[in-house]
A and B are shown apart, each in its own frame.
Chain A
Amino acid sequence: MWKYANPKRFMEISSPAIPWAAGLTLVCLVVGLVWGFFFTPDDYKQGSTVKIIYLHVPSAMMAINTWVMMLAASLIWIVRRHHVSALAAKAAAPVGLTFTLVALVTGALWGQPMWGTWWAWEPRLTSFLILTLFYFGYIALWSAVEDPDTAADLTAILCLVGSVFALLSRYAVNFWNQGLHQGATLSLDAEENIADVFWYPLLVCIAGFVLLFVTLVLMRTRTEIRARRLQALLARERFA
């Protein structure tokens, strides 16, 4: 895998990969969503809102997985100093943020008919709200620091420390929510005992979201690599 670490090599390998990834993404998303939306029944408990799982569950999964990928990429940068790794983490952040927002919005809309309010401080939603803040902070730090390598180092450290606190927050929020009201908080965990008729289209949608992540991160990393080269060339001009 380390042969991808060289920026030039990464560009060569990713170039033909992206059209394939994009194509597969489209296929999976269209098939999965159309299947789920048009060809599945309503849930006896949740009515037609069950159709929201095809968006909510994959995006929630990818919101977390993106952060995990950023964490891994940050570690690789700190340990092995592969620039592609640092840039991949930078590229992935807005993707993860978008997934988090999708998870939040769909989660809130799903809960609205059940809870009667547009927002409820339910543990899952609250954790995703906090995750949004972590994403914002990470992206902001990249933007604020001028020197690219310094930015890479600082954001990597932030990602590491942030991951620990994100986990702590998740636990704290669960704890926090218990004490509030006795009212049942509707669990949005549709993964438990989900019937096959919902499960298969959901799988396709999950695959679609994973592929969407891959396509976007590959594309965005390539843009970051080009941007870095651009900065180097401009610096050369300034000092020539």
Chain B
Amino acid sequence: MPDLGEYAFAVLASYAASLVLVAGLVVLSLWQRARIKRALAAVEARQGRVDG
């Protein structure tokens, strides 16, 4: 770790906050993707059976 001196908190908090925000967005996007994929697959299976 480089010597951040008196500004250590500002710098580290910036990196931490940015990581949290971006990671949150990525996780949310992956979760939404998985949820929709699952739901779509379920409906398509159902309709596939109905349509024959």
Contact = CB atoms under 8 A, between A and B. Distances in A.
Question: Do A and B touch each other in the complex, judged by CB within 8 A?
Answer: yes
B49 interface: no
Given A47-B7, A236-B47, A109 B17 contact: yes
B2 interface: yes
A43 to B, nearest CB: 10
A121 to B, nearest CB: 19
Contacts of B10: 49, 52, 109-110, 112-113
Interface in B1-52: 2-8, 10-11, 13-15, 17-18, 21-22, 24-26, 28-30, 32-33, 36-37, 39-40, 43-44, 46-47, 50
Contact of A48 (B7, B28, B29): B7
Contact of A223 (B3, B8, B32): B32
A226 interface: yes
A48 B17 contact: no
Given A37-B2, A42-B5, A216-B26, A102 B43 contact: no
A51 interface: yes
A101 B23 CA distance: 13
Contacts of A56: 14
Contact of A102 (B17, B36, B39): B17
Interface residues of A, number: 38
A47 B5 contact: yes
A229 to B, nearest CB: 6
A47 B29 contact: no
A52 B2 CA distance: 14
A233 B29 contact: no
Given A59-B18, A226-B36, A113 B7 contact: yes
Nearest to B2: A38
Contacts of B18: 55, 59, 102, 105-106
A222 B39 CA distance: 14
